[in-house]
Amino acid sequence: MEDIRMVDVTHKEITKRIAIAKGKVRMKKETILLIKEGKIEKGDVLKVSKIAGIMGAKRTFELIPLCHPLNVSWVDVRFRIDEKENCVEIEGEVHTSYKTGVEMEALTAVSLSALSIYDMCKPYDKSIVISDIHLVKKTGGKGQVDRTQIDID
């Protein structure tokens, strides 16, 4: 186990860091309508899923073994219902000023939001698929990522 270790970021400078991730939850058209009409028994799917995503981003270091604990400055989770594709598109954005990036926190926000949607809608739809979770943008530090022009969405 000596080959497993957390990366030492002691020498890195504190910079403003932002990460944006996206994902999709595909489902039947009828399930999309239930979400839109607020007819899911457990409650407002998108509100609950937003809270799940925010909570997940803040607790990422407890879920991913070698992820650094860091203070998250801001988290937002946004949704768009795409009735043509029968899916809920999720976008998670996380900000911090720290020595390491927040891409894992943004990906976790999207993942937990998607899992929450799945959990709330599974009694109505056995065909739900979570897909396309990916990092879209990362700024701050040395490594920059910007897939906004070539996004798979």
Instruction: Identify whether 153 is a catalytic site residue.
Output: no
Compute the distance between CA of residue 125 and CA of residue 33 in angstroms, rounded to an integer: 12
**Which position among 76, 119, 125, 153 bears the catalytic label?**
119
Compute the distance between CA of residue 26 and CA of residue 86 in angstroms, rounded to an integer: 6
- Active-site residue numbers? 119
